[in-house]
């Protein structure tokens, strides 16, 4: 569970009951009312929809949070930034 602008926003995907995709619950407004709403939503799923709860757990356990994956993503980001810098330097030096 996290706020959409919180530090875990890129780690938790809001669960979508239509597709079965997602790993948790998110809330928009960064306040107690929104947090309480997300907690109530999660508790309702936990209490009343055990198959859905298990799906959320399984989705979360299937995600790859390894350093290997993160390192590849950072290397790709660095390469994109480096190429953009080279292109910018080439266009400004003419």
Residue carrying structure tokens 């875990």: 8
Taking the whole predicted model, whether its pTM rises above 0.85 is answered as no
d(CA 94, CA 84): 16
Range(s) of the domain holding residue 90: 64-94
Helices (H) and strands (E) in the chain, counts: 3, 2
7 shares its domain with 43: yes
Give the mean pLDDT of 4-13. 79
41 shares its domain with 75: no
Smallest CA-to-CA distance from 57 within 46, 68, 66 is with 46
What's the total number of domains in the chain? Answer: 2
Confidence (pLDDT) at 94: 60
| 32 SS3 class | helix
Report the Cα–Cα distance between both ends of the chain, in Å, rounded: 51
| 45 SS3 class | helix
Confidence (pLDDT) at 64: 84
For 58-94, the pLDDT digits (tens) are 999 998 888 888 888 889 999 999 988 888 888 876 6
35 shares its domain with 76: no
């Amino acid at each position: 569970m996290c706020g959409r602008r919180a530090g875990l926003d890129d780690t938790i995907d809001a669960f979508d009951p239509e597709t079965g995709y997602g790993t948790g619950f998110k809330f928009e407004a960064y306040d107690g009312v929104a947090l309480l709403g997300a907690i109530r939503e999660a508790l309702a799923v936990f209490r009343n929809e055990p198959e859905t709860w298990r799906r959320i757990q399984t989705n979360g356990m299937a995600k790859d949070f390894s350093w290997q994956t993160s390192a590849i993503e950072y290397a790709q980001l660095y390469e994109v930034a480096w190429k953009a810098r080279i292109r910018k330097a080439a266009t400004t030096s003419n």
